[in-house]
């Protein structure tokens, strides 16, 4: 059965009145690259005037909330840091508030400075990541230099433009030598879109570890579509899931994320997923609660 396709002001008003918390994907919903989706600025302003809570949810683990706010500022969209929830921050919150990560332990990071900043924001120590010693290739077969550090209690993998064999060896050693060492991925995205094409994403970068440890260690995946990210968001923001709505352009991340979390979903067109995936002869198994052309269409309610 196809989901309702909202297209009238009356349908828009009924939906908005039923929601207290809007969980909004960023790229594809709020903007397309450097261009804001038409009408979205007016919609966000209207929702704020109606005292709706806005949470911007993204799987991008390369940026911290501070770095994301700079992106919003550049686009002329007013947001506060605590309204932004990327998979980097979600991973940090999950470690601190859900896993109660020990204060005397460190996280070994495969990732960039945005991920490190978010760990620091919740008081978690880290190694690896942007450490210059880990950004160089090790001498061939110098495996004796890779020794497990007993202070490392988790390995956290995100997008890492400096990924190399040395980092993979260190991460593998921690996970292989200590069954109590947590194994977390910020997200499982195979690719990410940029410059009109796609490139390998965070999930592709972590796959060597996942494959090497398969059958013995399985990672906890934080980002969309996994419920762990919603657990982290609710732990931080405390809202009623029954009065929330997940808005996204991707059936397999945003919409499945809402479904896995027991939250209503709104798919907007013009992004990753296509109309035929919802209304075609062979539709996706992931079915949103509602469909709209664009979040910007709600601007008619502000007129």
pLDDT digits (tens, 9 = 90+) for 114-162: 999 999 999 999 999 999 888 877 776 788 888 888 999 999 999 999 9
The CA distance from 230 to 115, in Å, is: 18
Q: Does 118 fall in a domain? A: yes
Could you list the residues known to form a binding site, using ranges: 25, 27, 224, 249
Band of residue 176 on the pLDDT scale cut at 50, 70, 90: very high
Same domain, 212 and 247: no
Average of pLDDT values for 232-253? 93
Could you list the residues known to form a binding site for substrate, using ranges: 224
Same domain, 160 and 210: yes
Q: Does 194 fall in a domain? A: yes
Same domain, 252 and 145: no
Same domain, 267 and 168: no
**Domain interval for residue 285:** 9-59+240-302
Q: Does 148 fall in a domain? A: yes
In contact, 235 and 93? CB cutoff 8 Å: yes
The SS3 assignment for 199 reads: strand
The SS3 assignment for 181 reads: coil
Could you list the residues known to form a binding site for Mg(2+), using ranges: 25, 27, 249
- Residue 280, Ramachandran bin (φ over 0: left; ψ between -120 and 50: alpha; else beta): beta
113 is catalytic: no
Catalytic residue among 17, 20, 27, 134: 27
25 is catalytic: yes
Last residue of a domain, one of 172, 188, 221: 221
142 vs 163: which has the higher pLDDT:
163
- 258's CB contacts (< 8 A; 6+ apart) are 23, 245, 246, 248, 264, 265, 288, 289
Catalytic residue among 17, 20, 25, 231: 25
196: pLDDT strictly greater than 70: no
pLDDT digits (tens, 9 = 90+) for 62-115: 889 999 999 999 999 999 999 999 999 999 999 998 899 999 999 999 999 999
Q: Does 75 fall in a domain? A: no
Average of pLDDT values for 245-251? 95
Same domain, 163 and 265: no
Same domain, 115 and 190: yes
Last residue of a domain, one of 193, 221, 249: 221
Q: Does 69 fall in a domain? A: no
Q: Does 277 fall in a domain? A: yes
Question: pTM for the full model?
Answer: 0.88
Last residue of a domain, one of 192, 221, 250: 221
**What total number of domains does the chain contain?**
2
Dihedral sign, Cα of residue 86, residue 273, residue 277, residue 268: positive
CATH code at position 180: 3.40.50.1000
Same domain, 26 and 127: no
Of the ranges 126-130, 180-184, 189-193, which one carries the lowest mean pLDDT score?
189-193
């Amino acid at each position: 059965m196809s989901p309702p396709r909202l297209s009238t002001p009356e349908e828009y008003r009924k939906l908005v009145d039923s929601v207290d918390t809007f969980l909004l994907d960023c790229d594809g919903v709020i903007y397309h690259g450097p261009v804001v989706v038409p009408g979205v600025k007016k919609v966000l302003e209207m929702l704020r005037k109606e005292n709706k809570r806005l949470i911007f949810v993204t799987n991008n683990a390369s940026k911290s909330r501070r770095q994301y706010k700079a992106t919003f500022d550049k686009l002329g969209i007013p947001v506060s840091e605590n309204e932004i929830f990327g998979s980097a921050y979600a991973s940090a919150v999950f470690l601190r508030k859900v896993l109660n990560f020990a204060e005397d332990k460190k996280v070994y990071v495969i990732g960039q400075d945005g991920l490190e900043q978010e760990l620091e924001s919740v008081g978690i120590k880290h190694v690896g990541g942007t450490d210059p010693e880990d950004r160089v290739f090790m001498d061939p077969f110098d495996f004796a230099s890779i020794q497990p550090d007993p202070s490392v209690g988790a390995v956290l993998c995100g997008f890492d433009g400096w990924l190399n064999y040395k980092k993979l060896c260190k991460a593998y050693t921690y996970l292989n030598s200590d069954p109590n060492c947590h194994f977390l991925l910020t997200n499982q995205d195979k690719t990410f879109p940029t410059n009109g094409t796609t490139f390998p994403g965070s999930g592709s970068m972590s796959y060597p570890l996942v494959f090497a440890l398969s059958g013995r260690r399985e990672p906890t995946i934080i980002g969309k579509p996994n419920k762990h990210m919603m657990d982290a968001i609710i732990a931080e923001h405390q809202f009623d899931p029954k009065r929330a709505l997940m808005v996204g352009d991707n059936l397999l991340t945003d919409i499945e994320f809402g479904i896995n979390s027991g939250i209503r979903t709104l798919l907007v067109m013009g992004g990753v997923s296509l109309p035929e995936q919802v209304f075609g002869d062979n539709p996706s198994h992931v079915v949103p609660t509602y469909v709209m052309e664009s979040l910007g269409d709600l601007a008619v309610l502000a007129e």
